[in-house]
Chains A and B, each alone.
Chain A
Amino acid sequence: MSASSTRTGRARPPIARKAWRPVRAGHGFVAAYCVLLVAFGVVPTVYALKFAFTDAGAHFAGLSNFTSAADDFRFTPALEHVGLYLVFWLISLVVLVVGLSLLLHRMAAQGVSKALRFLYYIPGALAGAASVMVWLFLLDPTVSPVGFLLRAFGYDTFGEVIAPGHLPILFTLIAFWTGAGGWIVVMYGALNNISPDILEAARIDGAGAWQTARSIQIPLLRKWIVYMVILAFAGGTQLFVEPQLLSQASTGVAGRDYSLNQLSYDFAFENNNVNTAAAISVELLVVGLVVAGIFVARSGFFDAD
C-alpha cells in the first residue's frame, strides 16, 4: 500500500515496469508454492492413489484394498473414535474461538488485549509433537503441576486419567490448546477489518454487545469461520500425533489403533500392507475434499463481496 503511494508521487514512472513488477513477485511466490505443493502434496497423493488401487505385486486391484480396510476389526472403532473427536473438537473450536476473539476485540481499548493475544498464541509456537509431550506430563497426577486438579476429579493415576472414555475430550483439549491460539489471532484480525462505521451505526441504533456480535460481527466473520472449519476438519480426521504419543507414553494402554491414520500406519508398518494403508489415506483425502466442497459451495466462500 505504502509502496504504491510513494511510487505515484514520483515523476513519470515507467508504466510497464510498474505493472510488471508485482506480477513477477506474485509469480515468484506462487512458483515456490507450486514446487512445494507438487513435491509434498501432489506427488505423495499420486503415489498413494497408485498404491490404493494396486496389490503387493503392483497389479490393478480394483477396490479390494478399500474393502479389506473396511473389513478390518480396527476400522469401525477407529471411525467412531475420529467421528466423536471431530464433534467435540469442531464445536469447541468454533464456539470458543469466535467467543474469545469477540471478547478480545471488545477489550482492544484496554491494554490487556495485547498480552492476551500473545498468551493465546504461545502454545501454537511449540511444534506439534512437543506440545503433546507437555500434555503427557500434565495428565500424569504424580508429576503434573496441576495434579491437585486431577485428584480433585478423582483421578489418582495416569491410567485413570487416560481411561478410554476420556480420550475424545483429552485429545480435544490438547488440540485446542495447541491449535486454537493461532485461529483466535486470525479471527481477531478479521474482526478488525469490519468497518468501525458499521459498528458505530449499530451502537447508535441501540444494539448491545450481544446483538452486535450476533447480527453484525459473526455474519461478517462467516467466511473465516468456514475456512477454519474446513482446515480443522481436515486436520481432525487426520488425528495421529496425540494418540500415537499417548500410546507410547502409556506403554500401549491408551491410544493404540485409535484413529484412522494410525490404522493406516499400522497397516503399512505392522502388517506390511502399504496398499491397504494407502487406501485409508485416500479415503481420508476424499472425505476431506467432499466436506470442503460442501462448505465452500454452501457458504459462497469464493464469491467476491
Chain B
Amino acid sequence: MTAKVRALRAKVQGRGRRRAGFLAAGSALLLATLAACGGGTSTGGGSQGFSPVKQTGGKLTVWVDSSRLAAAKLYQKENPSVKMDIVTYDGDANGSNYLRTKVSLFNRTRKGWPDVVFSSQNNETSWAVQAGFTAPLNKGLIPSSTLAGWAKGANDPCTVDGTVYCLRNDLAQTVLWYNTALMKKWHYTVPTTWEQYEALGKKVATEHPGYLVGSAGDPFTPEIYMWPGKCGANNVTGPKAVTVKATDANCKRMASLLDTLVANKTLSTSSVFSSDFDKNAAGKLLMMPGPSWYGGSLFQSTFKTPAHQIAVAPTPQWAGDSSPATGDVGGGTWLLSAHSTNLKAATKFLTWVTTSNDYQGKIAPGYPAYAPAAKAWLANQAASGYYANDITAPLQKAADQVWPGWGYGQFSQEAIWAATVTPGQTAGKSIVSLLPAWQKAIVNYARADGYTVSQ
C-alpha cells in the first residue's frame, strides 16, 4: 500500500511541478502587467495638478443617497436631453466609507468613477483630494460670483489650502426643537442654557414621566451635545493634525448632563431612526436638540407630528458663556470627479443641484448652504404653515454660530462614538466614565489615518 501511495505522490508531484512552471510563467506575466498598470496608488492630484481628461461626453453618472434622489430625478425631468445614470447608495452615512472604498477600487482599475457624487458626510475632502478624485471647483469650473453665494464658512469643510474641492449641499446647524403645545400645557419655558435644560429634564422626569427632552442614542450624539458644549475632543488644527481633549471640563460637564438625563429616562438611548424610537418615543417628545434637518426629515416625514406643534429655539448655551456655539450634524457635500469625461454637463448639474430654487428652495429637506436658496427655502417653510413659530431667525442665526473648535477629520467621530461609547452606555456605564476610552479611541483612529495627535 505504501508503494502505491508513494507512486501516486510522485505522480502528483510531477503534475504539480508542471503546474508550478505554468504558474510561474503566468505570474511573471501578471507581475509585468501590474508593474505597467499599477504604480501610482496614492500619488494624489494635489491642488495645482488638475488637467481634465479627454472630454468625450456620454452618460452623466450621478451617485446620490435616497434623500437626494428627488434632486437628480427633478433635474432629469427638467433636462430630458441629458443622458443620466442615477445610482443610489448609502451616502456614506454614519461613516460607512462606501464612496472611499469604491474610489480606491476605481483608482486601481482606472475607470468607473461617477461624475458627480452626493455624500452625507462633510469630511470627504480629507481623503478625496489625496486620492485625486475631486476636481478643484474655484479654478475655472465654477465662477467665483456663484461661490460667493454660499453661507459664511459653509464651504470650509470643502476647502484645502484655498482650493474648493466640493460644494456644501445643506447646513446642519443644531437648534432646539420643541413641542409648543406641550410647553404651553405644562407651563414650561423653553431653556436657553444647558443648566436650564438639565433642570427642565429633571422636572419632566418627576412631573411627566415617559416624556423626553432629547435623544442620546445616535452615532451623531456628540455633534448635537459635545460640539455646541465646546468639548475639545475633535479640534482639527491642520490637514493631518488634531488636538484631542475628550476629558476636558466642557466634555465632562456635558457628559454628566447626559448621564443625569439618561438616568432619569428623559433622554432616549435609541437612535431616532430606529423602529423602537418611532414606536415608543416619537409621540412623547417635549423637546429635542438636533440639526436643522430634524424638522423636515424627522418630525414632518418620519414621526408625522401634526402641524402647528413643532417650533425652533436656539441651541442652549453654558450659563455665562458670551459666545454662542452650535454643532453641525453632517450637512452633505457634492463632489465633482476629476476623472469626468463630461465636465461641462457635470458642472452644470452640480451648479443646479446646489443653487437652484427649484430643488434647494422648494424640495430639499435640509437648510440649503447656498444663501439665496436658503432664503427661498425658509420662506417656503414659513408659507407651509407646518411649524408653530417662525423658524427663520433661529436657523439663520445658528448657521453662523457653528463652533470652529470641532473639525472635519478623516476619521469618523460618529463611528468612533458608536463603537466606543454606545455599547458601554447600553451596558449601564455612565458617559463620564467612558470619556477616557473615547479619548483613547479617537487618538488611535486619528493616528491610524496618519494624523499627528496632540492631547
Which residues of A approach B to under 8 Å, CB–CB? 34, 38, 42-43, 46-47, 50, 56, 58, 72-74, 140, 142-143, 157-160, 163-164, 248, 250-254, 256-257, 268-272, 274, 302-304
Contact = CB atoms under 8 A, between A and B. Distances in A.
A271 B42 CA distance: 11
A245 to B, nearest CB: 12
B259 to A, nearest CB: 17
Interface stretch (B339-347, B371-379, B422-430): B422-430
B127 A272 contact: yes
Given A47-B30, A157-B270, A252 B279 contact: no
B101 interface: yes
Interface in B204-258: 217-219
B127 A46 contact: no
A142 B275 contact: yes
Interface in B1-46: 1, 4-5, 19, 23, 26-27, 30-31, 34-35, 38-39, 41-42
Contacts of B42: 56, 272
A158 B30 contact: no
Contacts of A34: 19
Contact of A50 (B31, B274, B414, B423): B31
A143 B275 CA distance: 8
Interface in B254-277: 269-271, 274-276
A72 B34 contact: no
Nearest to B105: A269
Contacts of B219: 251-253
A146 to B, nearest CB: 16
Contact of A304 (B4, B34, B35): B4
Contact of B97 (A142, A158, A250, A269): A269
B191 interface: no
B422 A46 contact: no
A251 B27 contact: no
Nearest to A34: B19
Contacts of B196: none
A269 B423 contact: no
A163 B426 contact: yes
Nearest to A274: B41
Size class of the B contact interface (CB-based, 8 Å): 35 or more
B23 A38 contact: yes
A73 B1 contact: no
A186 to B, nearest CB: 24
Contacts of A250: 418
B104 A157 contact: no
A251 B274 CA distance: 10
B449 interface: yes
9 contacts: A58-B35, A74-B448, A142-B276, A157-B426, A251-B94, A252-B219, A252-B419, A271-B449, A272-B131
Contacts of B27: 42-43, 46
A157 B276 contact: yes
Nearest to A269: B101
A50 B275 contact: no
Which 7 residue pairs spanning A and B have beta carbons closest together? A252-B418, A269-B101, A159-B426, A73-B444, A46-B27, A252-B415, A251-B94
A110 B270 CA distance: 50
B100 interface: yes
B423 A254 contact: yes
B27 to A, nearest CB: 4
A252 B414 contact: yes
A252 B130 CA distance: 25
A67 to B, nearest CB: 15
B37 to A, nearest CB: 12
A160 B100 CA distance: 31
Given A42-B27, A253-B426, 14 more contacts: A38-B23, A42-B26, A58-B35, A73-B444, A73-B448, A74-B448, A157-B426, A158-B276, A159-B422, A159-B423, A252-B414, A254-B419, A256-B419, A272-B41
B86 to A, nearest CB: 23
Interface centre among B5, B42, B419 (most CB of A within 10 A): B419
B95 interface: yes
B418 A269 contact: no
B96 interface: yes
Contacts of A47: 30, 34
Contacts of B448: 72-74, 271
A50 B28 CA distance: 11
A159 B269 contact: yes
B128 to A, nearest CB: 11
A43 B22 CA distance: 12
Interface string B402-425: 000000000010110011001100
Contacts of A269: 97, 100-101, 104
A256 B127 CA distance: 20
A163 B427 contact: yes
Nearest to B5: A304
Contact of A56 (B19, B41, B104, B275): B41
